[in-house]
Amino acid sequence: MEAANKSPKKENVVLYIVYATAAYFGLQLIFKPKRAAGATLVTTPTKLAAESKTDVNSGSSTDTISYQPSDAGTSKKVPKQAVTWIGEQFPLQKGMKGERIKTFQKKLGISSDGKFGTDTENAVYSRYGTKVVSQVLYQQIVTPTSSASAFSKLVDAFTKPQVLLQAGSKGEDVYRLQKWLGFKDKGAAKRGEPVADRIFGNQTLAALKKRTGKASITLSELNQYTGQISGIVNGEQWLVTTRPAMVLDSNLRPYREVPASTILGVRMLEFIDPGQQKAYMQFRTVDGFARWVEKDAV
């Protein structure tokens, strides 16, 4: 009887344990999602965004992480880098600024902002064949000397083909014409021979008609006939190329090519190279540099 009473008690204890275990795990299943939800921190990210992409072939979806700036959607203008200008000093060149530059810009008739930029460089190069302004050239630009004035006159003479030498004309160009026609200087002419007196008179007219069939001649034609484009202004002979030529530096090394009818500068001296059997003419440019050119090019 006593053994029978112990058996039901053991069974009850087992049931209690089973019930307690089931209740414990049941409560875990019930309350676990609520705890997780209560522990979740909800934020709105500004720099991290997830984009969902679907693979068309597999039908699966993947998340791609991309970073975006917090001020996305706003546009900022990047300021242009400022140009740094340096103070002027001779030789004046691109990148400099100052009152001297402003002064010669005015003389050249270009924008006078005092800054040596690309436009100023191009203006100097087209006018004088150099990209820098030496102190000598600066003085010639702002205060024209007799040499600069001569250069200006020569430019006018050789860039105006409509200028005619005809009856009544006078000057150095008439003298060149008379010499080409065979006239002699006063001291060398014999009695009855035409004299090169720099005056386009009847003798010059008759000689020109006999040689060319014309009563007048342009400066361009005279230069072509004589084969030497040069001019004498204020007692100085200026050299101008008759064909494209290579200008040489003071050491007879190539400097730069120039086209035909380029006014080079004032003739200085002549040099003959026996080895190459060539003759060269030295000239002084308008900005004071010594250069060379083959004699047969002028």
How far apart, in whole angstroms, are the C-alpha atoms of residue 250 and residue 248?
A: 7
Residue 120 lies in a domain: yes
Residue 133 lies in a domain: yes
Residue 224 lies in a domain: no
Q: How far is CA 240 from CA 53, 118, 163, 171, 269, in A?
A: 77, 28, 18, 19, 15
Q: Contact, 263 vs 158, CB < 8 A?
A: yes
Give me the number of domains the chain comprises: 2
Residue 190 lies in a domain: no
For 202, phi then psi, to 5°, come to: -65, -40
* Residue 163 neighbours by CB under 8 Å, 6+ apart: 157, 218, 219
CA angle 158, 268, 265 (to 5 degrees): 30
Residue 170 DSSP code: B
Residue 42 lies in a domain: no
The tens digit of pLDDT for each residue in 63-109 reads: 444 444 444 455 556 565 677 999 999 889 999 999 999 999 998 88
How far apart, in whole angstroms, are the C-alpha atoms of residue 226 and residue 179?
A: 10
Residue 241 lies in a domain: no
Beta-bridge partner residues of 273? 278
Domain range enclosing 25: 1-32
* CATH number of the domain residue 115 falls in: 1.10.101.10
DSSP string for residues in 262-273:
-EEEEEEEEEEE
Tens digits of pLDDT across the chain (298 residues):
445 555 555 566 667 776 777 677 666 666 655 444 444 444 444 444 444 444 444 444 444 444 444 444 555 565 656 779 999 998 899 999 999 999 999 988 899 999 999 999 988 887 777 788 888 778 778 875 555 556 665 565 555 545 688 999 998 889 989 998 999 998 888 888 899 999 999 999 999 999 888 899 887 677 766 654 445 555 567 888 878 889 998 888 888 888 877 888 888 888 887 777 788 888 888 777 889 999 888 8
Residue 122 lies in a domain: yes
For 188, phi then psi, to 5°, come to: -100, -15
Q: How far is CA 36 from CA 25, 27, 43, 89, in A?
A: 16, 14, 16, 79
Beta-bridge partner residues of 230? 239
Q: Last residue of a domain, which of 143, 165, 190? A: 143
pLDDT of residue 278: 84
If one counts every other C-beta atom within 10 angstroms of the C-beta of residue 120, the result is 25
Task: Look at strands 236-240 and 230-233 and give their pairing.
Answer: antiparallel
Q: Last residue of a domain, which of 118, 143, 168? A: 143
How far apart, in whole angstroms, are the C-alpha atoms of residue 130 and residue 121?
A: 8
Residue 207 lies in a domain: no
Give me 211's structure tokens. Answer: 């040689």
Q: Cis peptide leading into 91, omega within 30 of 0?
A: yes
How far apart, in whole angstroms, are the C-alpha atoms of residue 170 and residue 165?
A: 8
